[in-house]
Structure 1
Amino acid sequence: MIKFISWFYPLFISIIVVVISIRFDFSYTVENFDKVLDGTITFSSIVVGFLGALLGILVSIKDSAIVKSIFDSKEKHTLKRYFNETFIMGFLVVILSCAMHVLRVYPSITTKVIFYIWLGLTCWFIPSTHRIVNILMSVFFKTNSKDKNERPESNKVIEVNKRQSMKERLKK
C-alpha cells in the first residue's frame, strides 16, 4: 500500500489541484500570469538540469556499496521510473509553459483545456521532483560502517608513484 501511494501521490496531488481550480474557475486570465509562466520555465529547467547532474553523480559513485545495493535490488526499476517521470514532466511543463505564453492572449475553450493540462503537469512535476531528489540525497549522504573509510573500486590508486603524480597534477 505504501509503495502504491509513493508511486502515485504526485498524480493525486495534481488531480486535486486541477479539480479545485476548475471548481473555483481559476484560469490563465489571472493578473501577471506571464510572470508565473516565466518562473515555471526557469524552475523546471533548473530542476531538469540539476537532476541530470545528480544522475551523473550517481553513475560516478556506482561502485559504492550503497549504490551497488540499489542496482542489485528490484528498486532499480523504481528509481529509473522516478527519474523518467520527473524528466518527462519537466520537459512537458517547459513546453506547455511556452505554449501558454502564446495562447494566453487568445481566449478559447482550447486555451482553457491546455491551461488545466499545464496546471496538472506542473502540480505533478513538483512532488515528483521532491520524491526523486529526496531519494537521491538519502543515497548520497547515507554511509554505513563498512563503507566509511573505503573508496569505491574505481577510485583506488594503490601504487605510490601514481598517487604522488596525481597529487602533483592537482596542485597545478
Structure 2
Amino acid sequence: MRRAAYWLFPLIATAVAVFIVIFMIQINPAAPALKAGSDEGEKDVSLHLNPEIGNWIDRFSTTTEKDYFYPVNEVTLKLDTGGENSILGVYRLTAPVKNAKELSFVKKELNKSALRYIVHEEGDAMSLTVDSTDQNKLASLVTKLKTYQITATVSPYTEEK
C-alpha cells in the first residue's frame, strides 16, 4: 500500500500539470507566434508577427471571433460646432404620474409616437421625462395626455451644471 501511495502522488501531480498545459493551449489557439529577428548591423531586437497571420486588425475584421476588445489608449473626436445644425433646440416634456394606470396611458401614447422616455421614481412619486428636438410632437403629446386628465409641461431643455 505504501508503494502505491509513493507513486500515486507524483502521478497525480504530473497529470494535473499536463491537463493545465493542454487547457491553456486550447483556450488561446489563435495567438500569434512571436519570433525575435535581428539584422547583423542592428543591436536592438524587434518582434514581428507571423507572416501567415498578418496584421491583427485585418485578422479580427475577417474572423467571426467574439468577445475581443481592441486595445485603445486614446480616442480623439472632432466636433463641427460651426454648422447651422449645431444649435438644435432640445425640449423636455415632464409628466407627473400618480398611479400605475396613468403610467400605462402615458407609455401607450409614447410608444405610438415612437419617443424615448425615462421614468423617475422617488418614493411614491413618479414622473416621466421625454427629450426631443420636435416641439410640435411634444405639444401634440401634451394634448393627448390631457384626454386622460394627465398634466404635462413642455419646456426648453438646459443642462444643469
> TM class by shorter-chain length?
under 0.3
Give the greater-gyration-radius structure (CA): 2
> Normalised by the size of structure 2, how large is the TM-score?
0.22
> Normalised by the size of structure 1, how large is the TM-score?
0.21
Structure with a larger share of its residues in helix: 1
Structure with a larger share of its residues in strand: 2
